[in-house]
Every structure is written in C-alpha cells, then in structure tokens.
Amino acid sequence: MSVNLTTAQLLENRQVHRAVLDNGMVVLAVENSAADIVSARIFVRAGGRYEPPEQAGLSHLLASVLTKGTGNLSSLEIAERVESVGAGLGADAAADYCILSLKTVSADFAEMLELAAQLLRSPSLPEAEVELERRLTLQGIRSMQEQPFSIAQKQLRQAMYQQHPYALPSLGTEETVAQISREDLQQYHQTYFRPDNFVVSIVGRIAPEEAIALVDQIFGDWQVPLTAEGEVPLPSLTLPTITSHPKRVISTQDTQQAIVMLGYLAAAVHNPDYAALKLLNTYLGNGLSSRLFVELREKRGLAYEVSAFYPTRLDASQFVVYMGTAPSNTAIALDGLRQEVERLCTTPLTQEELQSAKNKLLGQYALGKQTNAQIAQIFGWYEILGLGIEFDQQFQVEIANVTAETLQTTAHQYFAEPYVSLVGPAIAIDQIATPAIS
Amino acid sequence: MIHQNIPTTSVVAVDVWVRAGAIAEPEPWAGMAHFLEHMVFKGTDRLLPGQFDQVIEDRGGMTNAATSHDYAHYFINTTAPHLAETLPCLADLLLNAAIPDDEFERERDVVLEEIRQANDDPDWLAFQALIESVYQSHPYGRPVLGDEVGLMQRSPQEMRCFHRAHYQPENMTVVVIGNVTQSQTLDLVNQAFSQFPVRPTCPAAIADAEPPITEIRRQELHLPRLEQARLMMAWIGPGVDQLRNAYGLDLLSVLLAGSRSSRLVRELREDRQLVQAIGSEFSLQRDSSLFTISAWLAPENVDRVEALIGDRLSELTTTPISDAELTRYKRLLCNDYAFSTETAIQLAGLYGYYNTIAQAETAVDYPNQIQTFKAEELQHLASQYLSPYHYAATILKPL
C-alpha cells in the first residue's frame, strides 16, 4: 500500500530523544533551531478519568489554582515573573491527563522551567484562590448552557458513559464543584503529582542533551513518596465497563438552529480498531471533501457546520456525527446523517476513496506537527497514554495498511443503533416522532 | 506577489488576499463578498463544484477561506511536490469562478444556516450590535454575513458582476511561503494568474469616513437563554495611515486586559472579583481600527465595572506607565509575534493581510516599532483615542 511519504515523514530528520530519570520521570526532547523559541508540555497521568464521580471537576479546579501560589510566590508575582519575560504558561485538565504548557524565547527557558517545577511540585493552593476559581468554574458551567452545541454534547456524553467519569464535563457539575475542598485538591495533588507519573516534553532551540540535563537538574531531587514499606504505589483504577444502550436525549431550547448529533460507542486508543475508526472519521467528516460535507452541505444545503469527531481516549471513546440545521429540517438532517453512517456498513469504499482518505489523514497529520508546541504535545501525549513515541510511526503504518474490507467490517461492528442527541425549538423536537426514553 | 523560501520545511502555504471584503459592497448588496467566497469553491468551466477541495485534500493538503470587511482570502496548506498541481487550480477558481445559478440557490441555504448559527451565539450578537453603533456611516458597521432578507434579493448575475469587478490584479496579493524557490514561484504564479476576467460595470461601494464618537452611545439588549451579562465597550482607532498610533494602541490593549497581570484582569477578575472574565482587543482595519474591552459578568455589576474601566482609562491619560510595566508588555507582544510566525501558513497570513490593508514590509517592522514606545507617547495616545466620555457600549442582559 502506498503512503504519501513526503508529508508523512515530516519529522524524519529530527530525532525524538527519550530519557528516564532515576525518579521515574520521562523526558522527551526534540531540537528545532528554526526559531529562537522553546515549547514544553508537561503531562501528568491524572485528569477527568481519575476523578471520583462525586468530585468531578477536581482536576480542572486544581489546574486553575496550581499557577496561583507557591510557598514563596503569590499569584500576582507568578504572573509578573512569567509575563516580564514575555513567556506563556498555563495549566489545564483533560479526560486522560493534566498538562502544564510553557513557551519562551530560548534564553528564558531554564528560568521558566524552574518556575513551572515549583508550581507542579509545591503549589500552595491558597484558600482565597480556591474560592475564586471555584466561583468562576461554577459560572463557567452555567455559561455552557448558552451554547446549543455544548448542551447537545453534554447530554450525549451523559447518556453514553453512564457511571464512567467520561460522562461528566471536565469542569464538573454545579453539585460536585460546590463540594470540592482545598484538602481534596491537596490529596489529589499528593496522589498523582509525583515524578514517576510525569512526562516532560521539550521542543525548540535547545540541544536534546541540554534539555534532558536541565530537567534532571530541576526535577531530579524530587522523590516518589515513601513509607516504611517502600514506595507508595499509585492507586489502581477500577472503572465501570460501558455497554451500549442507545436512546434519545432531547433539550427543548428556543434556538434558531437545531443541533442534531448521533453518537456510537467506539474503540479506545489501545484497541486494534483504532486506526480504522480514525480513517472512517476522516472519510466521513473531515474537511471540505468529506462525505458528510459533500452530501449534506454541498448537495443539499442543509447545514453550514456538518462534521464528525472521534477523540483519542484511554477508555471507550465515542464516534460522533453532527450538524446544525434549520429547525424545519431536523428530521431530514437526522435521517441524512444516519444514512451516511449506515452506508459505510453496507457499501465498501472504492480504492480511490480509500486512498484519498489515507492521503488526507496522513497529510493533515503531518501538517499538525509543525510548531514546537504541536510536536511537544503529540509525543508527550503518546507517552502519557502509554503508547510510546513509536506510536507516531506505528499509527501512520497502520493507517496505510487499512483495507476497504476492514473499514466496512469495523463500521458494521460499531455503527449499529446510535444514541441521538437533539437541541432545538419545539418545532424541531416534534418532528422526531419517538418520545424520549429516559 | 510575496515569496519567502523556507528550505527546512517540506510544507508550502499559498494565501491569496483580495481587496474585496464587505466594504467593497454597495449597501443593498450586503453579504455579497462573503457569499461569493462560498461560491468561488463551486468551480469553473474546468473544475466541477467541490472538485478543487478534492484536488487539495486527496494530496494531503488543506484549504479554506475567510471574509472580513477589508478582505477575502483563500489559502492552501500543502507540501512542495504538490504545489505545481494545486496552485493553478486555486488561481482558476479565483479568476474564473462560474457562479452557476443552481449552485447559487443551494449555497445560499448554507449561508443562511451560517447566519442562524451565528444568531445563536450571544457574543456574536453583542459584537454586531456594537460595531453597528460604532460605525454609523462607514460599512465597517455592517455584518459581513449580510441578512436573510437582503440575500434573498440578490442574483447570480449580480454576484458575477461583483466578482469580475473586484477580483482583478491590482486588488490581489498572492503569498507563497515554504520549500519553493523564488524562480519556481514566479513562473507558477505568472502562468496561473495571467488571464483576468473582463471588467464589467458594477455598482460602486460608498465608504464614508466615520465621524468621531462624541458621546457615550449605550445600548442594552435583553436576550433569552443568557446565563450571564456582557459589557462590550468600543473606541474608534486610527487607520493604517497612522500605523504607529495603531501599534501603540495594541500595546495599551495588552497592558489593560491582555494577560493575568494586566491592569483590568488583576483588579476586576482577581482582586474585586466583579467579572467572570475580561479582555481587550485591538483590531487593525484599513480605514479605522477598533479598540474593544469586553467583560463577562453578573448583571448587577455592569454599571460598576463600566465606571471602573472609565476610571482606569482616565488614569492612563494622567499617569505615565512605569518602566517595568512597559518593558513587560513590550516583551509580551514581541514574543507573541515570534510565537505566531512559526509556520508557513502563519507567515503567509501575516504578510498577505498587511499587504492588503497597507504594505507587507510593515508587518516585519512590528517588533522594532513596539520596542521604541515610551510612556509619554502612550499617555498621549490614550488621551487621543481612549476617552472615558466618548465611546460605544453594548450591554447584554438576560430577559
């Protein structure tokens, strides 16, 4: 099978260096001298997936407060230090990891990495900052209700993931966020923020050996927590298995457009079906030549935004197709989306369609690895998910090897009955004859 | 044509900028420039509708377009070996857009969906109301998307006229950046962009200069489904004929609300805790720029926050900025410039934009200009442009 090698091998002359420090911390470094800047992405194996359901939003709240105080620096002092060298520093939480992102001009990198280390190792989590960020988070949760797309996504996720932590938004819910205490944040920090649970990924104008030595110098003396019996093990996670029970979830909202969303439970990243599903997602919903775009927008004018997404997840993911459409078109839109997905189960792609989808996926994958930050992100992410940096190549080979037959079998296996999520005015909802089952 | 060879990448970005944004529309044709940008992708005598997208994406590339008041631009992000096949297709679309009648009707439905989607976004609604209030004479006050009533009255014939009148060499900048030599680029561009359409007579746009705001223009809108209020304030800034003043306002914008240590974020979000978020933006436009401060907050805090922002603007005109603060924001802007010029497509966008509203060379000079600002000049600019008594404000509150 031929691949578009020129674009797929964008990084071939740049080597990814990987080192493991004595304390278990993984360091990745790629030299890119094109510009006088360095980006770092520091990943922690924590995030939404690791939160107890009654503490949903814990990772997000910790990330918000993490940059707002250490033993000897106040929130304002931290902000001034970062901004006085024109750097960028921010923390965030995702479903499968927490992350601190950093970008600086090369000369300031060491100083900023040192500051980042202080924040990550010994945040003071000031009570007043916890309260401020909690209030802002609660308002943020309410504000998501202003966006029809967010409402559709939220109710779909809840229906599909049931008791699994992926069911809840990363901000948490009003109930859970109201309850999280400063002690909960400390406890969570102590449990997961430890060197053997970290990946530091650095890309830019810095020699790999230098980058690795710098991380060792700054983080090397940080030890994994010990008790008399030895190292404290990381908690083992038992998450509920998710089974598919398709249903309809509906919000009646006085909007100008109806959002129609179909979701199917889909494979986790470690599953052998991952590559085929990614390719199906590209073929169906990515770009101006995708099937959904051509059939539903170009040929029928039903939508401005019509697309598909299949996020990369450690646990079961979701394969979602959606569009926003005039309320009077809701039934047609639902039908159209469904037909296009089902066509993948019944009709194999032609060789040309298959090759085009591969070229598109691999070409755009390569275009997504241009900036220092993008390169640092992708390798660090593969490492924290347990895929290893080799996954970059492996994924491209797997995509190149997918056959039309595999795509059809995979589609058939995953795309049986969809979950349906609808948001729109009553005239949109009324078109969908079957009442909500809840 | 603008070209930069970057031999260390395998990527090539092409970005074509056309001085045919919403300000080129005669008033009854509002929305035409943006609708045309959609229709350009509907092909020519040689390319079927959608075929161009396929040509680009089948080769692993990406393409898209955008329209604003000052411009429409169309870009491809591809790799060096595919440039020779893809660039001529883009040129064909831009020069020979067929605008078929049946596609016109169908694509209008897509644009109407785009308008519906935007209408469900309260921030978009607030911003439209704000610019309408700021620009009462100049077309910068019109929505780029147009509206349903107006679009229903337009014909494919009128669009073909608009296209042929404006997609002409003196209005176009072709930017090619990446792993391609200058001579290759020149050959390709010369060949692809040679046959321009015959110019029709087309109704001209009238762009009246906008008189300064001499009062506080306040409007309050009440929307359903709103979870928090918005306060958006705007001031008219200089056009590109006073580029240095524009850069100074850029600096004032980050100093006021561009980062966590900036004055308004620190005071209103962190200390007094009166807002959920606050930000400011300076958008450079050819005829007159726009300086905005936007806050997301509880309805009961709107008046107090508006008054406090006014006080802080007064301070800017009376008290010089300290050296430490000035140095910090200069550095922040210069580094942001470095962070946003890493890739071919970013550079192509930057040069193309500047060349469309001014000259490409000025884009490169930006960091040097920023570095030379002193406190007195900024103080003077604040009193010239950011009056606490002359501005437009749009307030959104829940129904």
Taking an 8 Å cut-off on Cβ atoms, the answer to whether A289 and B57 are in contact is: yes
Strands B216-223 and B391-398: parallel
Instruction: Name every chain A residue with its beta carbon within 8 A of the beta carbon of B333.
Output: 86
pLDDT tens digits, B77-136: 999 999 999 999 999 999 999 999 999 999 999 999 999 999 999 999 999 999 999 999
DSSP string of B196-257, one letter each residue: PPPPPP-PPP--PPPPPP-SEEEEEEEETT-SSEEEEEEEE---GGGHHHHHHHHHHHHHHH
- What does pTM read for this prediction? 0.95
Instruction: Name every chain A residue with its beta carbon within 8 A of the beta carbon of B121.
Output: 147
| A221 vs B: CB within 8 A | no
Chain A, window 307-366: residues with a beta carbon less than 8 angstroms from a chain B beta carbon: 324-326, 355-356, 359-360, 362-364, 366
Sheet containing strand A248-252, strands side by side: A248-252, A419-424, A258-266, A317-325, A306-309
Which of B370, B367, B392, B248 lies closest to B316 in space, CA to CA? Answer: B248
Question: What does the alpha-carbon distance between residue A27 and residue B63 come to, in Å, rounded to a whole number?
Answer: 35
> What residues contact residue A210 under an 8 Å CB cut-off, 6+ apart?
none
In which band, very low, low, confident or very high, does the pLDDT at B363 lie, cut at 50, 70 and 90? Answer: very high
Residue A308 structure tokens:
């598909």
Query: pLDDT 10s digit of each residue in chain A, 438 long?
Result: 222 222 233 454 679 999 999 999 999 999 999 899 999 999 999 999 999 999 999 999 999 999 999 999 999 999 999 999 999 999 999 999 999 999 999 999 999 999 999 999 999 999 999 999 999 999 999 999 999 999 999 999 999 999 999 999 999 999 999 999 999 999 999 999 999 999 999 999 999 999 999 999 999 999 999 999 999 999 999 999 999 999 999 999 999 999 999 999 999 999 999 999 999 999 999 999 999 999 999 999 999 999 999 999 999 999 999 999 999 999 999 999 999 999 999 999 999 999 999 999 999 999 999 999 999 999 999 999 999 999 999 999 999 999 999 999 999 999 999 999 999 999 999 998 655 444
Residue A83 structure tokens:
């901004």
Residue A170 structure tokens:
């990363």
CA distance B48 to chain A (A): 12
Mean pLDDT across B2-30: 96
Please give the backbone phi and psi of residue B227, each rounded to the nearest 5 degrees, phi first: -100, -15
Instruction: Name every chain A residue with its beta carbon within 8 A of the beta carbon of B77.
Output: 367
Question: What does the alpha-carbon distance between residue A333 and residue B27 come to, in Å, rounded to a whole number?
Answer: 34
pLDDT tens digits, A56-95: 999 999 999 999 999 999 999 999 999 999 999 999 999 9
Instruction: Name every chain A residue with its beta carbon within 8 A of the beta carbon of B58.
Output: 289, 355-356, 359-360
pLDDT tens digits, B235-284: 999 999 999 999 999 999 999 999 999 999 999 999 999 999 999 999 99
Q: Which amino acid is at B93?
A: L
Contact A418, A262 (CB under 8 A): yes
Neighbouring CB atoms inside 10 A of A72's CB total: 9
Nearest by CB to residue B110, choosing from A143, A256, A301, is A301
The angle formed by the CA atoms of residues A206, A207 and A210, to the nearest 5 degrees, is 95
Looking at chain B, list the stretches that DSSP marks H as alpha helix, in order from N- to C-terminal side.
32-40, 51-58, 83-96, 101-119, 122-134, 148-152, 156-166, 182-192, 243-257, 263-264, 302-318, 323-339, 344-357, 360-371, 375-385
Q: Tell me, rounded to whole angstroms, the distance of Cα A108 from its chain centroid.
A: 29
Contact B76, B68 (CB under 8 A): no
The angle formed by the CA atoms of residues B7, B9 and B15, to the nearest 5 degrees, is 95
| A56 vs B: CB within 8 A | no
Taking an 8 Å cut-off on Cβ atoms, the answer to whether B50 and A75 are in contact is: no
Nearest by CB to residue A6, choosing from B54, B81, B335, is B81
Mean pLDDT across B181-185: 97
Instruction: Name every chain A residue with its beta carbon within 8 A of the beta carbon of B266.
Output: 76, 79
Distance of CA B145 to CAs B36, B88, B111, B112, B120, Å? 11, 28, 8, 9, 14
Taking an 8 Å cut-off on Cβ atoms, the answer to whether A326 and B108 are in contact is: no
Contact B41, B65 (CB under 8 A): yes
Please give the backbone phi and psi of residue B153, each rounded to the nearest 5 degrees, phi first: -90, -5
CA distance B120 to chain A (A): 6
Q: Tell me, rounded to whole angstroms, the distance of Cα B118 from its chain centroid.
A: 16
Instruction: Name every chain B residue with its beta carbon within 8 A of the beta carbon of A87.
Output: 335
Chain A residue with minimum CA distance to B104: A301
Burial zone of A277 (CB within 10 Å; 0-12 exposed, 13-18 middle, 19+ buried)? buried
Chain A interface disruption, residue of B40, B117, B396, most A CBs within 10 A: B117
pLDDT tens digits, B201-216: 999 898 888 999 999 9
Q: CB contacts < 8 Å between A and B, how many?
A: 184
* pLDDT value at residue A13: 62
Q: Which amino acid is at B65?
A: A
> What residues contact residue A382 under an 8 Å CB cut-off, 6+ apart?
A388, A389, A391, A392
ipTM: 0.95
Nearest by CB to residue B113, choosing from A136, A299, A303, is A303
Question: What does the alpha-carbon distance between residue A151 and residue A172 come to, in Å, rounded to a whole number?
Answer: 14
Q: What is the DSSP letter of A240?
A: -
| A138 vs B: CB within 8 A | no
Residue that the structure tokens 């694509």 belong to:
B107
* pLDDT value at residue B178: 97
The angle formed by the CA atoms of residues A16, A17 and A19, to the nearest 5 degrees, is 145
pLDDT tens digits, B301-350: 999 999 999 999 999 999 999 999 999 999 999 999 999 999 999 999 99
| A301 vs B: CB within 8 A | yes
* pLDDT value at residue A183: 98
